A and B are shown apart, each in its own frame.
Chain A
Amino acid sequence: MSNNNHENETHAHHILSDSMAYKIFGILICLTVITVGVAQIDLGAWNFAVAMLVASVKASLVCLFFMGLKYDYKENSIIFSTSLIFMTVFMVLTFSDLLTRGDVYVKGPIVPESASGPAKSKFKKAWIATPELVAHGKEQFQAQCVACHGAEGQGNGPAAAGLNPKPRNFTSADNWKNGRKPSQIFGTLTKGLNAMPSFASLPSDDRWSLVAFIRTLGPHEGEKDSDADLKKVGIDPASEDGGGGGEKSIPVGVAIDQMSEEK
């Protein structure tokens, strides 16, 4: 394409003047200062918009002047723009998929419907361990946790090899980070901990049943919840089927919000 256009025409290669180069440099530095300055003020969602806008202006200046697109053949600008167009396509297609999948992404490990059970509460006062609850927790454990924590809960599942810190060994009282009261374990399941994903998307019944089951694996004498402990994780100890007993699955983001508000 170049040959026909430029064969006979004497196209002068533009030389960027020093004064122009310094001017652009000055503007770029000012814009950097602006980016940093704006980041120190809380503008909510606007922070991101401003940061990206300023970055785009900076990028355009670099392209137009330092890289000389302003003085170059239009072809080169068009060529370079195609990359941005394809990048946009990449973004749009990715998000049009991810954002319309329902809550598959938010659910963490993908589990069959039957394993997580109906969202409706099956247990009254799910924070109090009963044999039925433990049995249900065992099922949940097989479906959700063995990959990391191992079939016996010793923290040695097949996926544990690549993890650091290692998944907790439930048969021992050592090395627990968030505490071992039911409410504290419930908190861990809701929030996640480092490599351990959050299970906030499981109905809280299921989370309580997991707590009950895990506690049968190791020594837990004296690790009891007070009413205040329960209130902290959103349970009203007086209620029949539990403050958090019957709620539907909530997205991770919401759960994390709730947790951070409590802090």
Chain B
Amino acid sequence: MSQSEAGVVLAADRHHAHHFNTANEEFDACKQGMWIFLVTEVLFFSGLFVAYAVLRVFNPEMMHEAHHLLNWKMGALNTVILITSSLTMALAVSSTQRGNIDKAVKLLWVTLICAGGFLIVKYFEYAHKFHEGILPGAQWHYEELKIAKAPLFFSVYFVMTGIHGLHVIIGMAIIYWLIRRAKRGEFGPAYFTPVEITGLYWHFVDLVWIFLFPLLYLVS
């Protein structure tokens, strides 16, 4: 294994599953697998984005009125939190690649805390909506906004942010698992596949939010 600032190459004798020729090949395959998984994730979310687009094209006024019930400051705060967590995740990956595991563990903790912070902000937003009766579809009993189909905006809002939030929760579990393994000394310049591909997943979660934020909170 050789290591430099430019990059690391996995040693030919590094242990790898027997159906791969080299550890490098194993790493590439894992990473490619993650990219393919992310493709399915995009397609999964695309159904929701299309639903959103249809709603918006046919009900622009409703969307405009309804989105005022969301607090864009909360949304912006969460955007910053997620971008920060993406940064710390990227730094955790590069620290692992450089063999600085202590630093990587710290950075993973920060990522985890950011994810937790994101969920706490979301919790406050949801709690406020539930309290006011701003609920999806038929559960809606908010009296202030008398415009047809407003509950539909919130169906889309809750499903999109809910599924995104689920991704955050799953990501937190995986990051915690990474921390445990990193502490056991399982990662280093010779083997960092799980850290790297979890990073891809985590950045994807950020990616989705980058679109959700303006689409839901800043409609105009």
B170 at the interface (CB under 8 A from A): no
CB-defined contacts of A66 to chain B, threshold 8 Å: 86-87, 89-90, 199, 203, 206
| Residues of A50-87 whose CB lies within 8 A of B | 51-52, 54-55, 58-59, 62-63, 65-67, 72-73, 75-76, 79-80, 82-84, 86-87
The interface stretch among A5-13, A114-122, A213-221, A231-239 is A5-13
CB-defined contacts of A177 to chain B, threshold 8 Å: 146
- CA A109 – CA B58 in complex, angstroms? 15
Whether B76 pairs with A67 at a CB distance below 8 angstroms is no
Mark each residue of chain B from 76 to 93: 1 if its CB lies under 8 Å from any CB of chain A, else 0: 100110011011011101
The interface stretch among B6-14, B113-121, B161-169, B179-187 is B6-14
A256 at the interface (CB under 8 A from B): yes
Q: Which of B80, B200, B220 sits near A29, CB closer than 8 Å?
A: B80
Whether B8 pairs with A39 at a CB distance below 8 angstroms is no
B160, chain A: closest CB distance, angstroms:
14
CB-defined contacts of B211 to chain A, threshold 8 Å: 55, 59
A13-B7, A22-B87 known; A7 and B214 CB under 8 Å?
Answer: no
Whether B146 pairs with A87 at a CB distance below 8 angstroms is no
- CA A165 – CA B200 in complex, angstroms? 44
CB-defined contacts of B58 to chain A, threshold 8 Å: 98, 105-106, 252-253
Whether A195 pairs with B140 at a CB distance below 8 angstroms is yes
CB-defined contacts of B29 to chain A, threshold 8 Å: 2
CB-defined contacts of B220 to chain A, threshold 8 Å: 39, 42, 47-48
Q: Which of A36, A87, A195 sits near B76, CB closer than 8 Å?
A: A36
Which residue of chain A is the closest to B202 with respect to CB atoms?
A: A66
A100 at the interface (CB under 8 A from B): no
| Residues of A169-228 whose CB lies within 8 A of B | 177-178, 191-198
A163 at the interface (CB under 8 A from B): yes
Give chain A's interface residue range (CB within 8 Å of chain B): 35 or more
A39-B214, A86-B46 known; A80 and B35 CB under 8 Å?
Answer: yes
Majority secondary structure, B binding face: helix
Q: Which of B24, B147, B151, B214 sits near A52, CB closer than 8 Å?
A: B214
- CA A39 – CA B215 in complex, angstroms? 11
Q: Which of A47, A54, A87, A196 sits near B49, CB closer than 8 Å?
A: A87
A257 at the interface (CB under 8 A from B): yes
A87-B49, A98-B54 known; A15 and B148 CB under 8 Å?
Answer: no
- CA A105 – CA B62 in complex, angstroms? 16
Which residue of chain A is the closest to B96 with respect to CB atoms?
A: A15
CB-defined contacts of A95 to chain B, threshold 8 Å: 53-54, 57
| Residues of B106-134 whose CB lies within 8 A of A | none
CB-defined contacts of B39 to chain A, threshold 8 Å: 79-80, 82-83
Whether A36 pairs with B93 at a CB distance below 8 angstroms is no
Which residue of chain A is the closest to B150 with respect to CB atoms?
A: A194
B190, chain A: closest CB distance, angstroms:
11
- CA A115 – CA B170 in complex, angstroms? 52
CB-defined contacts of A76 to chain B, threshold 8 Å: 31-32, 35
A260 at the interface (CB under 8 A from B): yes
Of B5, B93, B97, B98, chain A has the most CB atoms within 10 Å of the CB of: B93
B32, chain A: closest CB distance, angstroms:
6
Whether A25 pairs with B87 at a CB distance below 8 angstroms is yes
B195, chain A: closest CB distance, angstroms:
12
- CA A17 – CA B6 in complex, angstroms? 9
A18 at the interface (CB under 8 A from B): yes
- List 22 interface pairs A-B (beta carbons < 8 Å), by A numbering: A2-B25, A3-B25, A13-B97, A15-B98, A16-B90, A18-B94, A29-B80, A32-B83, A39-B220, A59-B211, A62-B86, A66-B203, A75-B32, A86-B46, A87-B49, A91-B49, A95-B53, A164-B141, A195-B140, A195-B151, A198-B148, A252-B148
Extra contacts besides A2-B29, A14-B7, A72-B31 (7): CB < 8 Å: A6-B24, A10-B24, A12-B7, A28-B86, A42-B220, A51-B215, A59-B211
